[in-house]
Structure 1
Amino acid sequence: MRQLIHHGVYVPEYKPIGLSVKYNGRRIELDAEAEQMALAFVKKFNTAYVKDNVFVNNFLEDFCRKVGIDKVNNLNEIDWSEIEDYVVKEKKLKENMSVEERRRLAEERKRVREKLKERYGCAIVDGKKIELQNWIVEPAGIFMSKGRNPLRGRWKKAVDRSEITLNLSEVPEDLDKGWKSIVWKSDCMWIACWRNPLNGKMKYVWFSPKSDIRQERERKKWDKAIELEKKIKEVEAHVNRNLRSREILRRKVATVVYLIKETGIRVGDERIAGETGTIGCTTLKAENVMVKGERVVLDFIGKDFVHWHREINLPKKVLKNIIEFIGKAKDRPIFDGIDSGKVSKFLQEVIPHVSAKTFRTMIAGQTFKKAFKETKKEFGKNEFENIVRFKYINLAVAKRLNHKRKIPDKFEERLEKKELKVKDRELKIEKILKEIEKASEKRRKVLERRLEKVRLEYRRALLELKLYRDTAEWNLNTSLSSYIDPRLVVEYARKYKVHIERIYSKSLREKFSWAIK
């Protein structure tokens, strides 16, 4: 980039209400942040989160510290009634609003957002106006966690301008004051950055996924995965040569690449905040690897604190290396000295510009194609069944890449409703069949048409039930939005006459407009 001009990011301000809590009979007036904390916590009272001791204890520790009282061990030791009354009152107000009031408020929110977007939601890049992504700084809130992160329930403080660095080629005269710093990095695609107040990781604001600059980068990501797949034999030969190298680091990196290719495991350079576990191959320790004859069991806590477990058969040379590295590791990672940069550099000896991450993208494409073939005879030809089939293909990719999620709170309740729907259709079929036995020829034809319709309803209800049960603990959206080549998705939709809106959300249709076109 030669030019990058923008107005930074929008930092929302919380408007305090003036609420309080009681502790030991004493009223505690809450400042703006403490009030935010109390409101966020009370809104979780009717959810599974308050049954999670780690979540509750972490929050109470932060809240008690904030309001200056001794740490309590039970949420009921604090009287939250004023906060609860406010939450209930606000909920009722919204429920009792007329359609006109709802429409008026929605229009007002839209007007305010559009005005903010006009100032903060775009940048000028080399003379061209480009939309930005996540240009509103995330407000303070409780850390919810996707997995069993020990930090769940902790309070994530708000970020203000004094913590934010902007990337600008020139500073607009009307730029807001008070930023941490302003730099110019012409080779970087970020607009602004700051440290996550909870775990210290960097957070970036990027160009919108529908911008030309991002879409070109996305397309290249999948093109590189296709190139890797085409040259995989060369990569395998390169790996095999180096599995027997005299240099231990060459043997280590070759073994890492072998494991990544065979298992889809992440490269994994960093430790998880608050834990001693690992998130990928290069951070595996001896306790995460168990050798059982010619089989190896990999077991560890991965990204987002999701459990990762695989058992695989390994060639003797790979097994020999792993046993050697475990023996030398002591309390260090067994692939000590190897990181994602060294893995990428090793791969680039065969294919320029490829990275370690490209393997997971390639594996997603391979899994998609394999599942496409395997599901061909399982489903009918109407649009609904082709959508269900696609979701099972998507599920195969999610499983391969270990994209797990927490089972939804009302899973059992919704499952029961779907089971009842199936049972209802079964009873209807039985009833119609009995009627057909006794019906006249004219009446029988009417009943047979009805039977055909109910059987279709039964088939649909059965597929919905099975799909809901099978996908409960798997996050399909991660692989759909970041790993599956959108050209494969578009090709599937066109071949089986599925409207792309039934597969991609509006945001994903914008992100992948280059493939849809």
Structure 2
Amino acid sequence: MSVDSDDDMPLARTNGRVSDAHISKSLDNAMDKASAKAKAAPAGVSIRNGPIIEDEMDVDTAANGTSKRKSRGSTSKPVNYNVQGSDSDEDAVPLAKRQKTTKKAVDSDSDDEPLSKKAVHLPPKATAAAFGEDSSDDDEPLTNKLANKKAAIEKKAAKEAQAIRAKEKKSAKKPAVKDESDSDDVPLKGKRQSNGVSAVKKVNGTAKKSNGVKKEESDSDAPIAKKKANGKAKAEASAPAKKGKKKEASEEVEEVYRWWDAPKKEDDSIKWETLEHNGVVFPPEYEPLPKNVKLLYDGKPVTLSVEAEEIASFFGAMLNSTHNVENPTFQKNFFNDFTEEIKKTGGAKDREGNKIAIKEFAKLDFKPIFNYYDAKNQEKKARSTAEKKADKAAKDALEAPYTFCMWDGRKEQVGNFRVEPPGLFRGRGEHPKTGKVKKRVTPEQITINIGENATVPTPPEGHKWKSIQHDNKATWLAMWQENINGAYKYVMLAAKSSIKGQSDYKKFEKARELKKHIDRIRKDYTRDLKAELMADRQRATAVYLIDKFALRAGNEKDAENEAETVGCCSLKYEHVTLKPPNTVIFDFLGKDSIRFYDEVTVDEQVFKNLKIFKKSPKKDGDDIFDRLNTTQLNKHLTNYMPGLSAKVFRTYNASYTMSTLLKELKKTNLSIQEKVKLYNDCNRKVAILCNHKRTVGAGHEAQMEKMGDKIKGAKYQKWRTKQMMLDIDPKQKKKKGAEYFELDEDLDQEWILAHQAFLVQEQRTKIEKKFAKDNEKLVANGEKEMKAKELQLRLEVADELEKKFKKENKTKKVEAEGKGPTIEKLEAQIEKRDAQISNMMLQAEDREGNKEVALGTSKINYIDPRLTVVFSKKFDVPIEKFFSKTLREKFTWAIESIDEEDDWEF
């Protein structure tokens, strides 16, 4: 699509059928009459949301019989939409290109055939329990509750936006110091310093200013050639620090650079003044297979060039990944690249040196290669702990120089410093290029970005870098282009680095800035839903869908070179099914080629608009929003605030909704686990209200069963403890009542016998592992190993436990255990056991509620981490309960910038 950036009117797409430029009143009225009789459902909520899967494709079974979770929503064979069946060639076509049916069985209440009619499993509906409601309360349908809650939050947001603007307008009239607390460009103002670390870190005896906040475009994946030249930085600005005055490395590691307290840089487009690093780590070279290990073709061993053999080894090594190697698309792409390499490198030969024409994939046998690599893996796993530690230490020592860089004199951790090894591209979902060969990246493909006066890393012997540049407006250290999709790969700083922290901070501050304008945006797009101009109406409808249902904006795709994934602006006719009176079904390949399904209720005007956008003569393959693209949409949004784009709505809605829900919580006398569940309940509500859901994991039921067994096990031990009380004092039965000593109704004799056998086996396994570990230590210290007799002596403990259980089952009595057991001690044990059971039941309930919600994804990407920190401090819950060590390092700025008494609000 060609776009004239100076023209406000979007040009029509050149491909497919195009909507009329204007919407006539007669068409509007006709659509109104068509939907006047039906009663619309509450708008703005999702009924079903997430990837679609089929039962038989949930789990891969590896060669060793173990189960393995697949990529979310992926299928080993494409879903067949052809009612009359399909051949293998059609199966290899991406789903987004196949969403057509030979026959439409149209429902009486629908003008489209919902894809949900096919033999697939839809995402589950939102439940009252997941939303924290009592499922027994059926007075009001859940969809109504969700819609009402969402409407209330939006109404509150509108009032807040008006109040903020009024306050800013009032303060602007006064000649007071400007309040920059909400500015995107101002660093966080921390309330205190920790460990005596200065807010402005000194380097070479002079104070360094903060790096500020990076521009949104600075880390763009666009090729360097396409970027405008930024010009060279001044030599004085990029001069390296003098070695004589550098701080000790140990000091650098301990010191925390509190960039959020540091003064703002004058020019925040300049990311660094000095930059030193050691480049990248390349994967090891290919080790040819032993001469006795060969690929078989039609049962005969085949000799290949080293290059072709390496490609064969990629496939052979992953035979147990049936999800990939049995996928027709994967096989086809691999075979094309493999045979092309064979032709390029002299062909395949038999034992006598005669050429063999490899024409059929089905005749290839990779088992000898798989067996070779599998044996090597088993050998690697069988190494002693000491050997594994030594190998890891050697690897860490080799990679240590690449793990950090010197950024303006500070030591910053580098993230992905390893160049990806060659292999077979897998992709996610139904990627059309799965199975293609990812070629080895050479130094000649890599561009190094480094300080002008810094020492350039030495490339491997016999090689040279593609180019060296000194772009201090970029935050990447190295870059190359991969061969599969032509995408640019960047070596960036680690997530916990100050640069990444500033990027996260700016992202959430931009979402906070949107809080001031959200009412105007919603008011404007609601008005434009009835605009006469088709371009305006399409834009308003797209913003509505992005705001209400968290649809990604979507980008233009090159159909030949990229997976045909779509977003809101690039939706095709076949991706949208309309179900009167106001239900819309979205079904398309979303991000990472995952098939995404979203069934939503929309405003009646939006439903009518989509009907107009799908109006004949449009058909499958035609664009829904044919007078709109993502660039135009984002350009329109910047009229409300600088830097606003479609993706900001997702962050804003999640953070604002979470903020609202947390404010509603009251401090009560709850346990830590109950408080954690309280937080997770709010997080789940955010996922439901903002449409961030996922498919239930293949291993969820097994995990829940395991947790159930743990709870039963604790109940069993509690019952045994009560029986010990009777052993000490039989009168307790009369004193406490017979009911107190009865077996829990969840437990039966069959389960108890199985559990006892499990406990005995668990004891044996622990003893055997401890014995093996002790022997490893003895050998490492140059001492003799213990003999098998010692193990047998140790195992007697498990034998005694087994005998004890048999006796208890026979006599129906449990002898008191421990030193000097008393009724008081046993009662204390029962109290502890009750608390343990209560906590485990809360955890199980929490996990069950989380099965459709990726809480981790929300916490990392969409919910402002400062909200979690505020909850943690307000409710006295350790932050470790919400953020792992990695996340605590990533969000140091959020944790450190919120004071104990700070009443911070999103």
- Smaller-chain TM-score bracket: 0.7 to 0.9
Residues 456 and 293 of structure 1, relative CA distance in 2, 3 Å threshold: same
Equivalent-residue separation in structure 1 for 2:483 and 2:676 (angstroms): 41
Number of the residue aligned with 1:353: 643
SS at match of 1:297: strand
**Larger RCO (CA under 8 A, 6+ residues apart):** 2
The CA deviation string for residues 357-385 of structure 1, in whole angstroms up to 9 with x for no partner, is 100111221343466578989x9833344
Contact 2:446 2:478 in 1 (8 A): yes
Number of the residue aligned with 2:504: 218
Instruction: Report how many aligned residue pairs link the two structures.
Output: 508
Number of the residue aligned with 1:170: 452
Match for residue 364 of structure 1 among 654, 658, 678: 654
Equivalent-residue separation in structure 2 for 1:173 and 1:349 (angstroms): 45
SS at match of 2:694: coil
SS at match of 1:260: helix
RMSD in angstroms over aligned alpha carbons?
A: 3.7
Contact 2:565 2:592 in 1 (8 A): no
Contact 1:403 1:478 in 2 (8 A): no
Number of the residue aligned with 2:633: 343
Q: Which amino acid aligns with 2:500?
A: R
Q: TM-score, normalised by structure 2?
A: 0.50
Q: Say whether 1:423 aligns with 2:696.
A: no
Q: Which amino acid aligns with 1:26?
A: K
Larger Rg: 2
Contact 1:57 1:73 in 2 (8 A): no
Contact 1:10 1:137 in 2 (8 A): yes
Structure with the largest fraction of helix: 1
Q: Say whether 1:149 aligns with 2:431.
A: yes
Number of the residue aligned with 2:602: 314
- Structure 2: stretches of 5+ with no match in the other structure: 1-269, 343-347, 349-357, 737-821, 897-906
Match for residue 837 of structure 2 among 458, 472, 493: 458
Contact 2:673 2:842 in 1 (8 A): no
Contact 1:164 1:181 in 2 (8 A): yes
Match for residue 301 of structure 1 among 562, 585, 589: 589
- Structure 1: stretches of 5+ with no match in the other structure: none
Equivalent-residue separation in structure 1 for 2:731 and 2:334 (angstroms): 69
Q: Say whether 1:26 aligns with 2:309.
A: no
Q: Which amino acid aligns with 1:91?
A: Q
Deviation for aligned residue 1:302: 1.2
Equivalent-residue separation in structure 1 for 2:317 and 2:491 (angstroms): 29
Contact 2:317 2:373 in 1 (8 A): no
Contact 1:167 1:183 in 2 (8 A): yes
Contact 2:281 2:419 in 1 (8 A): yes
Residues 108 and 64 of structure 1, relative CA distance in 2, 3 Å threshold: same
Number of the residue aligned with 1:87: 374
Residues 231 and 100 of structure 1, relative CA distance in 2, 3 Å threshold: same
Q: Say whether 1:245 aligns with 2:557.
A: no
Equivalent-residue separation in structure 1 for 2:839 and 2:310 (angstroms): 45
Equivalent-residue separation in structure 1 for 2:491 and 2:892 (angstroms): 21
Number of the residue aligned with 2:544: 258
Deviation for aligned residue 1:397: 4.6
Equivalent-residue separation in structure 2 for 1:405 and 1:41 (angstroms): 29
SS at match of 2:598: strand
Contact 1:54 1:152 in 2 (8 A): no
Deviation for aligned residue 1:428: 4.5
Equivalent-residue separation in structure 1 for 2:373 and 2:878 (angstroms): 44
Deviation for aligned residue 1:265: 0.9
Number of the residue aligned with 1:383: 672
Q: TM-score, normalised by structure 1?
A: 0.83
Contact 2:529 2:540 in 1 (8 A): yes
Contact 2:315 2:325 in 1 (8 A): no
The CA deviation string for residues 220-277 of structure 1, in whole angstroms up to 9 with x for no partner, is 1101111212321111122233333343222222211111111111111144978875
Equivalent-residue separation in structure 2 for 1:407 and 1:55 (angstroms): 25
Number of the residue aligned with 2:569: 282
Contact 1:18 1:30 in 2 (8 A): no
Match for residue 333 of structure 1 among 613, 617, 623: 623
Residues 275 and 17 of structure 1, relative CA distance in 2, 3 Å threshold: closer
Contact 1:243 1:255 in 2 (8 A): yes
Deviation for aligned residue 1:50: 6.0
Number of the residue aligned with 2:858: 479
Number of the residue aligned with 2:485: 199
Residues 300 and 501 of structure 1, relative CA distance in 2, 3 Å threshold: same
SS at match of 2:507: helix
Q: Which amino acid aligns with 2:335?
A: E
SS at match of 1:190: coil
Deviation for aligned residue 1:113: 0.9
Deviation for aligned residue 1:283: 1.1
Contact 1:58 1:151 in 2 (8 A): no
SS at match of 1:122: strand
Query: Which stretch of structure 1 is more off in the superposition, 504-513 or 389-398?
Result: 389-398
Contact 2:316 2:369 in 1 (8 A): no
